[in-house]
Amino acid sequence: MTSTSTPTAASGHAPAPHYPIAIIGGGLSGLLLARVLIAGGVDATVFDLESGPEARGQGGMLDIHEETGQAALRTAGLHAEFRAKVHPGGEAVRVWDKAGTLVHDEPDTGDGDRPEIDRGDLRALLLASLPPHALRWNSKVTGARPLGAGRHEVTLADGTVFTTGLLVGADGAWSRVRPLLTPAEPAYTGISFIEFDLKDADARHPEAAAVIGDGMCFALGDGQGFLAHRETDGSLHLYSALRVPEAWLDAHDFSDTERTRRLLLDAFADWAPHLRALLDGAEDGFVPRRIHALPAGLTWDRVPGVTLLGDAAHLMSPFAGEGANLALADAADLGTALLAHPGDTEAALAAYESVLFPRAADTAAMSAASLDMLFGEDPTRRLVDVFTGAYDPQG
Ligand SMILES: Cc1cc2nc3c(=O)[nH]c(=O)nc-3n(C[C@H](O)[C@H](O)[C@H](O)COP(=O)(O)OP(=O)(O)OC[C@H]3O[C@@H](n4cnc5c(N)ncnc54)[C@H](O)[C@@H]3O)c2cc1C
């Protein structure tokens, strides 16, 4: 049974509470795993460093693919809830070159297999599918150590500890669980994003809304560009992407909105005026973000009682749009494997990892190839060839 007591201080006399299955991280992968297990009659507890479900804006749109993300939502019994939150029109795609020519304009015909959902809506429906006792907020894991026989002791930032029979690292890019399995760490991909939003776009930023259209929009050239989405709340979410050294972000103060705007306008100095003008409307400031990835094809030897899901297992650049889909697929596969092997955790983990490793390797290679395509030579022609089926970035 899941412990219902509060974790006790390491120095206290009471024994540390024990959780049969502890999932570290309440992102998409951790929540979906908990849902599959609990719906299957197996208790699991999710520990997240956030103070609560609304602590952090989720932002961004995700297209959820039939064979991975949607299949996982079916396994979790949540596909109907997902369909109800799909963003109509969100599968539209536009591609501009830096000279300002619209080289591809594909409407959402409503029959695509990659429906878009707001990341916050997806997380909210996963959270709503769980009983409150399955979620432990304010629980930042700082470390974990093996106790033998597949058990682990987990330490939280407030000094409390607990033990678990199965430790699942669903704690994202900078996982605290991953070192139990591999010394691998994320490395900078060479691309940095500076993100910004244009609120109430149709009324307040009609020119930008007309450039971006109803769904996803790319403007690319010379190893940089804009990647943008229309969101369900009528805002536009944009990433200006630059191929810059890792230290470049440290050299600038992005909290100064006007200086950042000038910096970006300089970086896009020879771009078409209507593309540069996308930067004009950013009122709420700019947020810098380096894009990191784990080595493609990362695996580890089986270590009793611990495994990884999602970005913790295979962080990759977002340019194939697969990270969230894989996170959901991993979670469904691990949950299914655990339900199929009651009482034999190691058999379940081996079965899960035999699917995880090759799938993640293929997709990481695809993400790396997509990065080269978007920020390499002749990006708009190659991207349009992908959308028309004439080019396979992995081929
Ligand atoms: C800019 C950008 C755009 C993207 N666009 C797409 C896209 O279009 N399509 C797509 O499929 N994917 C996309 N991705 C990738 C996608 O966001 C991730 O792959 C996905 O969110 C991974 O889910 P996860 O559950 O593994 O990890 P996360 O979503 O990162 O969740 C990890 C959770 O762990 C918690 N946590 C972290 N550390 C600790 C700790 N020490 N203790 C306790 N809790 C902890 C965090 O609070 C968080 O809730 C994008 C990523 C980026 C950066």
Q: State pLDDT tens for residues 170-193.
A: 999 999 999 999 999 999 999 999
Question: pLDDT at position 284, please?
Answer: 85
Q: Is the CB of 46 under 6 A from ligand 1?
A: no
Token code pair at residue 175: 């996982």
For residue 32, give Cα distances in angstroms to 50, 152, 203, 306, 349.
17, 22, 37, 18, 17
Q: Is the CB of 27 under 6 A from ligand 1?
A: yes
Q: Is the CB of 28 under 6 A from ligand 1?
A: yes
What does DSSP assign to residue 171?
A: -
| Cβ contacts of 108 within 8 Å, gap of 6 or more | 88, 89, 90, 91, 92, 214, 215
Token code pair at residue 160: 């409390």
* Three-class SS state of 314: helix
Question: pLDDT at position 213, please?
Answer: 94
Q: Which of 62, 298, 371 to mutate to test the pocket of ligand 1 (most atoms within 8 A of CB)?
A: 62
* Angle formed by the axes of helices 119-128 and 28-39, nearest 10°: 30
The Cα–Cα gap between 97 and 134 comes to 48
- Could you identify the atom of ligand 1 that is nearest to the CA of residue 321? 9
Residues 178, 164: contact at Cβ < 8 Å?
no
Question: pLDDT at position 394, please?
Answer: 58
How many Å lie between the centroid of ligand 1 and the Cα of residue 64?
15
- Protein residue with least CA distance to atom 31, ligand 1: 27
Residues 28, 38: contact at Cβ < 8 Å?
no
How many Å lie between the centroid of ligand 1 and the Cα of residue 172?
5
How many Å lie between the centroid of ligand 1 and the Cα of residue 378?
30
Question: pLDDT at position 122, please?
Answer: 96
The Cα–Cα gap between 320 and 394 comes to 11
The Cα–Cα gap between 305 and 152 comes to 7
Question: pLDDT at position 59, please?
Answer: 66
Full-model pTM: 0.93
Q: Which stretches within the chain are classed as H helix?
A: 28-39, 71-75, 79-84, 119-128, 201-204, 206-212, 257-267, 273-276, 310-314, 323-340, 345-375, 379-387
How many Å lie between the centroid of ligand 1 and the Cα of residue 174?
10
289, β-bridge pairs: 193
- Could you identify the atom of ligand 1 that is nearest to the CA of residue 27? 31
- Protein residue with least CA distance to atom 5, ligand 1: 318
Question: What b/e sequence results for 58-78 when a residue is b if at least 16 CB atoms lie within 10 Å of its CB, and e otherwise?
Answer: beebbbbbeebbbbbbebbeb
Q: Which amino acid is at 382?
A: R
Residues 317, 327: contact at Cβ < 8 Å?
no
C-beta contacts of 377-383 below 8 A and 24+ residues apart = 379/220, 379/221, 379/225, 380/95, 380/96, 380/97, 380/103, 380/104, 380/218, 380/220, 380/221, 381/103, 383/95, 383/104, 383/218, 383/220
The Cα–Cα gap between 294 and 96 comes to 30
Question: pLDDT at position 9, please?
Answer: 46
Strands 187-198, 287-293: pairing kind: antiparallel
Q: Is the CB of 324 under 6 A from ligand 1?
A: yes
Question: pLDDT at position 60, please?
Answer: 80
- Ranges of residues in the chain with a pLDDT under 50 are 1-10
Q: Which of 171, 226, 231 to mutate to test the pocket of ligand 1 (most atoms within 8 A of CB)?
A: 171
Alpha-carbon dihedral sign for residues 311, 314, 318, 322: negative
Q: Determine phi and psi for 173, rounding to 5 degrees.
A: -55, -40
- Other Cβ atoms within 10 Å of 43 Cβ, number: 16
How many Å lie between the centroid of ligand 1 and the Cα of residue 323?
8
Strand locations in 37-91, DSSP E? Answer: 45-47, 61-63
